[in-house]
A = this chain, B = another copy of it.
Amino acid sequence: MNLYQRGSIAVIFCAQRTQNDDESYSAAANAMSDLAAKQPGYLGQDSARSADGLGITVSYWENDEAAKAWRDHPDHSAIREQGRGKWYERYTLHVTRIERSYDWIK
């Protein structure tokens, strides 16, 4: 939950999980989160998952090249195939550009 510069990229990943393989899913999700954080141009991420298996992860990147490089990372691509095979019923992904940001803290 941070602010990012105008022009940064936010990738919005909304996914409905299957009921399969909760342990392997968590391990893979954590590994991907750690690996993403090591990529050039990575800024941060926000993630929430409801009890019904609907999850939203937003990852933030300095520019589109960084977001695309992560999309094409071999380990990420391999996990994506696994995800389609067993962890996800469906998903949408929106690549967006930040126009303005606000925050509020009590």
A: which residues have CB within 8 A of B?
1-4, 10, 12, 14, 16, 18, 46-51, 54-56, 58, 64, 84, 88-106
The A contact surface, by secondary structure, is: strand
A2 to B14, CA, bound (A): 9
Docked-complex contact B51 and A56, CB < 8 angstroms: no
> Which residue of B is nearest A46, CB measured?
B14
- Please indicate the chain B residues that have their CB under 8 angstroms from the CB of A14 in the complex: 1, 46, 48, 58
Can you report 24 A-B residue pairs in the complex whose CB atoms are below 8 A from each other? A1-B91, A1-B92, A12-B46, A14-B46, A46-B54, A48-B49, A48-B54, A48-B56, A58-B58, A58-B94, A64-B99, A84-B104, A88-B106, A90-B106, A91-B103, A91-B104, A92-B102, A92-B103, A94-B98, A94-B101, A95-B101, A96-B97, A96-B98, A97-B97
